[in-house]
Structure 1
Amino acid sequence: MTSSRRNESTSKGWMFLMGALILLAVLAAASSLYYQYKHPANRGHSMKKMNLEEVKSVKKAKDAYDVIVIGTDPEGVAAAVSAARNGLSTLLVDGRNRDILGGLMTLGWINSIDMNYSPNKNILGKDDVFNKGFFSEWYAKIEGDSFDVNTAANAFYDLAKNEKNIDILLKTQKIEPLLAQGQTQIQGATITLEGGNSQVVKASAVIDATQDGDFAAAAGVPFTIGHEDIGDPKSKMAVTLAFRLKNVTPEVWDMMAKRLNNDDDVNSGVNEVSVFGYKEMSNYPPLNKERAKMRGLNMGRENDNTVLINSLQIFNVDTFNPKSVEEAFEIGKKELPNVVAYMQKSFPEFAHLELDGTAPELYVRETRHMQGEYRLSIVDVCTNNDQWDRIGFGSYAVDIQRIAPTDSGNVVCKPKQYAIPFRSIVPQKVDGLLVVGRAASYDTLPHGSARVMPTGMAEGEAAGAAVKIAQAEKLTFRQMTASKEVIAKLQDQLTKQGMEIQPMTLKPQPFMEHKEYEGLKTAMMLGLASGAYNNDFHLDDKANPKRMTNLVNGAKKMKPDAFKGDATAAIAKLENNDKIALTLEQASYTLTQAIGLKVDAQQAQAELLSSKLLTDATLNLIGDKQNLTNADTYMMIRDLKIGLTGKP
């Protein structure tokens, strides 16, 4: 080859290489821009607090809209923005005395977010969040996983006011369902305005984003209350009165960080905007021992050397009764000066902090649980179950807060990723209505995870888009739940809106492969088994007679009228009943004593078998009949439940 040809070949090679490098650089830049679009960065902490922007409310609604969204909590704003972006005329209306948007976050002062993090890291090596879409768009406008309430309120309003299809109507006195005469089809709402005048507003659909499912309940949608579905209708998780402390300077923040970074407790931590820890606060001696209790501190940083704290729990509050709510505020406000004094005395970094106010609204964790077309179960959550009609994902731990001062709370499990089905926002009996947020169709235990606001925002976004799909397909929401083709269209639209809701398959949890897993499922559904954050249900740990008695007493909820005896009679004459091995004979005797079968211990097993309250299949799974495990006892509870109720 001649020198000139060699030079020409070399030149072409370099040109090709340079072109490839330029192409790679362009692709990398494009990828970076796309990533930043999908994963925008937060504002970060600031020492300058935003002024609250005035929310401009219409004085009166129009006579008709495509959709009415009731409730200005985060779920409601997400639903309204989604509906408006789908071209629907939208009324966002609130029946509480609110001046700003954001509800629980901005007026309940719960400014630390229970995040739904993906098991995977993003390309920058940071924690990634589920669902994206509206949540990520709003999240990019705030400081981080804790936020300044003014920033959050302005971010919600900014997203809503920029949609030309949204009218905002605040401070209405009452919002009542407008139903077709003699039917269960929602046709809109009758709204009592701030001045007392009533207005009928027609709409083809209504989205109930109130915290307690108020509109849906008034329309006749069935609900359970609190722990009713696990046999304890009088119990609900505690409410909280959030409070603010001032003088939390950067130096104080650094002192807290130093303490918590040296703390061995895995449930404590700190970043630029959030603190969680100080479990010693649970030792605080309340003035009102029957009604109040402190937990470890959850602190969210404001932009003015203050923090908001979600830690004071108040019990036995009927949040549907204004007098009970007022009493809860009084209990909290009497307690908090002593709480702060205890903090000042216990921790040097808190020595100069001062109480600076309490939240305008209570943090109410649990009231109504809607009965929808599908009811999310604790097994769904703990086993990372996918759903064919998924509209979002959750991953927050199943965190059951205290129901009484003597209760320590409970973490049932920590899922990696589970799906929220569209069917869980479609109520039974009433058409033209969707219910999003903590009042959606979940059993009480999975509600401990699914109630968090990022999940609710995903539901809200899905609900807004679903109204458009239902209109286009000329279907009711209930009819949509029977059509995989139509749900696929909804999922495609949500993907276009930036949500990430692709099907998922995860490796089964170790407990799911246990030979007695079916027994664990029954125990979980009854609220009798907990795996905590590491999902260890201690299935192969040795049981004891006292634990068996407690288990059987807890199982009474399966069919209370069938438990005519006394399980504790089975251990009345047993010494060290919490330390000795549990035999099959003793376990069987405990069951017969509980349900009132008059047999002695030697006859108990045979009596259960003949009564079909115990099966040979379960007996064959018990490896050591002189030394039963927790899993063995769960299988016996499962057999008892099937025998008494016909259901596992």
Structure 2
Amino acid sequence: MLNRETLVSIMVLTIILICSLTSNTLAVEEINSDLIVFSGEPEGVTAAVAAAREGKNVILLMFREKPGGLMTYAALNFLDLNYDNKSRNINHGIFSEWHQKLGSSISFSPKKAETVFEEMLAAEENITIINLAELKSVKVKAGKIYYLEAEKNNKSYRLTADFYLDASQDGDLAAAAGEDYFIGTADINLKNSWMASTQILKFSNVNPQKLKKAVRNNKYYGSHFRNDHAWGFSNFGKSYQSQNDNLRLRGLNIVFIENNGGYDAYINALLLFNVDPLSEKSAAEAKKSAAVEAELILKYLQANLEGFEKAELNDLPQELYRRESRHFLTEYQLKTQDLFRQKIFKDTITLASYPLDYQAAAQDYPGFVLFNPEYYGIPLRTLIARKNDNLLIVGRSSGYSSLAAASARVLPPAMNTAEAAGIAVSEAVNKNKSLLEIVEDEESLKKIRSALKINLNNYPAEAPIIDDPQLLGSLERLLSWGITIGGYNNNFKLDTVPNEKEFTAIILKIMQKKEADNLYEWVPGSLETLSSNKKLTTTNALKLLLAAESQRVLEMNEDQYFNKALEMDLVPDKLIVVLTKKRVMNRKEMIILAAHYLDRFETPSDLKAIRGEYFD
């Protein structure tokens, strides 16, 4: 039997051994560089390559094993290209280089995309890759990121740099560094709402030629087939009845990829609602539901879609295609109005032209196209963090309003902004300047634009889509809250006559979004009762506005409506003459009237900052 002294000695030795093993297990490697890029998304790869080509030492910190992110792990293999008015691609630079290596098509093999990203990284000697790493902490000091702590297997890293760049989908580094953000459509007062996630489905043993023939014979309404890509099929999607209320099959978007003499089909169409974009648990549960539904969709396709009779369902991609989560508050918040005015900023670093295509957020909140700009500029300030002056944020979580992000989030301009960020960091290091000083440095901005082949001399400072000084301000204010839309063709139907129900719906949206104090519980019912599908007249427009203000309109004479509305400041100066006459209103007049009512209510204080109204 061991005596007390022996037991104590054994315990001490054991503790020493454990501490020694722990010390070895948690050995810390310190690495310093010019730039740390967080995440191997396409934007992260682009930023790292851009800075490395400028001669800067770069650490690419990835939590995945391979680069490519959304394009590879979620299998989103279709590009939303941005074109000019002559159908030419407007996004160049490293994006164009990557795109050409893929074959210059709008669709591609996820594996090929991954390979090209790897080759681009391997070609740069100045890039150190730390993959499969977990970001453990971010140390902030005196308005800067001081260092990062990361862990891989049993090894810890302490990483320091002059600048840091967050290229992750959700802005996890920026959030950990204390940057402010909002989630989803909170900036238009739709809280706990964001675009649906998608589970991309992959099928093998399909026959694209058979589907192409059926499309050309108009078997499927509103469907198209070009090269290796088919899209549309809206009625086809609507006729499918999901077994899960949180899932919906929209119109099909199909990419065909040749594989060993046959073809695989990637279908981007299965929308997943109520998936918390920041919760791994929520995503995992959604993936389980999608896997069950995928088997039913397979049977539906086999029975109803030409070329899919013998289709087989492959393993689902590892990750969901998540369109939206955090939106960060950067040095400038790109607003819907900026896109509508097709604004070119002094610090514009790239151009974009994709429509503001906001995907469905719920079964009862369908997607829409707000409008379709011919072009607009993205300023460098939208990438620069406000609290940490050595941090940039690139990708879908950059400083965009939720509705502006519906356009700016797509890959080509996102990769352009990442390249611009990489060059901006290089310029800041070379010139010993801050990022905000680079914003004012015309020589540095010219260097960025040259790399991206942008000539701003071809563009005016502003070119509003609707260049009507009477209407412009009113229309863009309603657009900024998502209250009216123009669609792909920017058709706001200005000369058509709206009906009373339309005006009622706008009034209620305004009151809800602005959290009007006078939106009493009886107001919606009262307005619904007072309105019909009849054409909107000046008399009834005033009547509905007065009713929204809880005025006893049924006890008033119609001739009293105008004076009462004027007294309550419900009549804009532009419409004083119009509203004195009893006649039908056109949509332009209704928009001006509605925007005036919108301005009646103060924007809630918590929304002012996240809407970028401090820039107005």
State the TM bucket, normalised to the shorter chain: 0.7 to 0.9
The answer (yes or no) to whether the contact 1:239–1:317 under 8 Å persists in 2 is: yes
Which residue is equivalent to 2:495?
540
Q: Give the CA deviation at 1:406.
A: 3.0
Does residue 188 of the first structure (1) align with residue 147 of the second (2)?
yes
Counterparts of residues 92-241 of structure 1 (less than 5 Å): 92-95=60-63, 98-120=64-86, 127-143=87-103, 144-180=105-141, 183-195=142-154, 197-241=155-199
Unaligned runs of 5+ in 2: 1-26, 604-612
Residue deviations 1:137-189, cap 9 Å, x none? Answer: 00011131100111110101111111011011111122532211xx3211231
Could you tell me which of 7, 28, 48 is aligned with 1:80? Answer: 48
Q: Give the CA deviation at 1:80.
A: 0.4
Does residue 385 of the first structure (1) align with residue 340 of the second (2)?
no
Residue 102 of structure 1 aligns with an amino acid whose one-letter code is: G
User: Cα–Cα, structure 1 residues 385 and 61, in superposed 2: closer, same or farther, change >3 Å?
Assistant: farther
Q: Give the CA deviation at 1:230.
A: 0.7
Could you tell me which of 414, 417, 420 is aligned with 1:459? Answer: 417
Residue deviations 1:482-516, cap 9 Å, x none? Answer: x2xx1x22332224435325344379566333742
Residue 522 of structure 1 aligns with an amino acid whose one-letter code is: R
User: Cα–Cα, structure 1 residues 599 and 61, in superposed 2: closer, same or farther, change >3 Å?
Assistant: farther
Residue 111 of structure 1 aligns with an amino acid whose one-letter code is: N
Which residue is equivalent to 2:292?
334
1:517 and 1:495 map into 2 onto residues whose CA distance is: 30
User: Cα–Cα, structure 1 residues 255 and 512, in superposed 2: closer, same or farther, change >3 Å?
Assistant: farther
The worse-fitting range, judged by mean Cα deviation, of 432-441 and 614-623 is 614-623
Does residue 371 of the first structure (1) align with residue 329 of the second (2)?
yes
2:213 and 2:43 map into 1 onto residues whose CA distance is: 36
1:569 and 1:633 map into 2 onto residues whose CA distance is: 21
Q: Give the CA deviation at 1:344.
A: 1.6
The answer (yes or no) to whether the contact 2:29–2:158 under 8 Å persists in 1 is: no
TM-score by length of 2: 0.87
Does residue 256 of the first structure (1) align with residue 211 of the second (2)?
yes
Does residue 345 of the first structure (1) align with residue 345 of the second (2)?
no
Does residue 639 of the first structure (1) align with residue 596 of the second (2)?
yes
1:594 and 1:194 map into 2 onto residues whose CA distance is: 62
Q: Secondary structure at the match of 1:131?
A: coil
User: Cα–Cα, structure 1 residues 263 and 598, in superposed 2: closer, same or farther, change >3 Å?
Assistant: same
User: Cα–Cα, structure 1 residues 515 and 622, in superposed 2: closer, same or farther, change >3 Å?
Assistant: farther
Residue deviations 1:498-549, cap 9 Å, x none? Answer: 5325344379566333742322112111101111111101122111111111
Counterparts of residues 395-474 of structure 1 (less than 5 Å): 395-474=353-432
2:200 and 2:600 map into 1 onto residues whose CA distance is: 47
Q: Secondary structure at the match of 2:467?
A: helix
Residue deviations 1:577-611, cap 9 Å, x none? Answer: 11x12122322232233344555564454344333
Which residue is equivalent to 1:618?
575
Which residue is equivalent to 2:233?
278
Residue 634 of structure 1 aligns with an amino acid whose one-letter code is: I
User: Cα–Cα, structure 1 residues 310 and 217, in superposed 2: closer, same or farther, change >3 Å?
Assistant: same
Residue deviations 1:260-302, cap 9 Å, x none? Answer: 3454999743333322222223224444442000111112232
- What is the number of residues matched between the two proteins? 570
Which residue is equivalent to 2:205?
247
The worse-fitting range, judged by mean Cα deviation, of 561-570 and 410-419 is 561-570
The answer (yes or no) to whether the contact 2:93–2:451 under 8 Å persists in 1 is: yes
The answer (yes or no) to whether the contact 1:284–1:339 under 8 Å persists in 2 is: no
Q: Secondary structure at the match of 2:466?
A: helix
1:259 and 1:419 map into 2 onto residues whose CA distance is: 41
Q: Secondary structure at the match of 2:117?
A: helix
The answer (yes or no) to whether the contact 2:242–2:248 under 8 Å persists in 1 is: no
1:584 and 1:264 map into 2 onto residues whose CA distance is: 47
Which residue is equivalent to 1:43?
none
Could you tell me which of 529, 554, 559 is aligned with 2:514? Answer: 559
Q: Secondary structure at the match of 1:424?
A: helix
Q: Secondary structure at the match of 1:91?
A: strand
1:382 and 1:260 map into 2 onto residues whose CA distance is: 35
Does residue 476 of the first structure (1) align with residue 434 of the second (2)?
yes
User: Cα–Cα, structure 1 residues 557 and 206, in superposed 2: closer, same or farther, change >3 Å?
Assistant: farther
Where has structure 1 moved over 6 Å in runs of 4 or more? 264-267
The answer (yes or no) to whether the contact 1:68–1:188 under 8 Å persists in 2 is: no
The answer (yes or no) to whether the contact 2:62–2:133 under 8 Å persists in 1 is: yes
Q: Give the CA deviation at 1:191.
A: 1.2
The answer (yes or no) to whether the contact 1:145–1:273 under 8 Å persists in 2 is: no
The answer (yes or no) to whether the contact 1:142–1:152 under 8 Å persists in 2 is: yes
The answer (yes or no) to whether the contact 1:244–1:308 under 8 Å persists in 2 is: yes
2:187 and 2:253 map into 1 onto residues whose CA distance is: 29
Q: Give the CA deviation at 1:107.
A: 0.7
Q: Secondary structure at the match of 1:490?
A: helix
Unaligned runs of 5+ in 1: 1-58, 121-126
Percent sequence identity is 28
Residue deviations 1:230-266, cap 9 Å, x none? Answer: 1101110000011101012xxx222222333454999
Could you tell me which of 486, 490, 505 is aligned with 2:459? Answer: 505
The worse-fitting range, judged by mean Cα deviation, of 453-462 and 500-509 is 500-509
The worse-fitting range, judged by mean Cα deviation, of 603-612 and 424-433 is 603-612
Does residue 568 of the first structure (1) align with residue 534 of the second (2)?
no
1:83 and 1:587 map into 2 onto residues whose CA distance is: 58
Q: Secondary structure at the match of 1:118?
A: coil
Q: Secondary structure at the match of 1:303?
A: strand
2:491 and 2:205 map into 1 onto residues whose CA distance is: 42
